[in-house]
Structure 1
């Protein structure tokens, strides 16, 4: 398994509300993505940031999603960049 965490800094209460709404749809939307396993949105206790945690069957499944039209639609038409500094990726070794 391959997990990707995207840390997003919160800029305002409205920003947080928008992210909650947008990511609230992610688990259902992602079901159609090959290799997708799970999604969670973690909110920092101090309200400073959220972490969008996505788990895929493999790194290859993640890379294919980042390059897909589904990804572009979910991210306002932008393509993916798996080397962004706010992304952290992991191989899941113990579940």
Structure 2
């Protein structure tokens, strides 16, 4: 828990979209995320956001704590969702935040 009494941790993954086909694939892939993430310890919520100019998506996941996020990165659930690879991807454009007011 942080000094403001919150311990939520928000992760945003920016995904460039280069074609309508790619957009369709990404939307389909992430459509299952809210339900499948419910089994992940510490998971709170998931949203997929689309830029108004359609140039990118933001996959936004909220965890109860940074520790829950880090545990998920090393989990079998993460590996299955990311092609068998654990940990943060090297080419990922990820921003992490502590939620201080909600």
TM-score (norm 1): 0.95
Deviations 1:14-65 (A, max 9, x none): 1100110111100000000000000000000000000000000000000000
Write out aligned runs for 1:1-95 (5 A): 1-81=8-88, 86-95=93-102
- Structure 1 residue 83, shift from structure 2 partner: 7.2
TM-score, normalising length: structure 2: 0.89
Quick check: which has more Rg, 1 or 2? 2
Please identify runs of 4+ aligned residues in structure 1 that moved more than 3 A: 82-85
Q: Return the alpha-carbon distance in structure 1 between the equivalents of residues 100 and 10 of structure 2.
A: 10
Question: In the alignment, is the contact (CA less than 8 A) between 2:9 and 2:66 conserved in 1?
Answer: yes
Q: Which runs of 5+ in 2 are unaligned?
A: 1-7
Matched positions, count: 95
**1:79 CA displacement:** 1.4
Q: Quote how far apart the aligned CAs of 1:78 are.
A: 1.3
The alignment's C-alpha RMSD in Å is 1.3
Summarize the Cα distance change of 1:30–1:91 in structure 2 as closer, same or farther, 3 Å threshold.
Answer: same
Structure 1: any 5+ residue segments left out of the alignment?
A: none
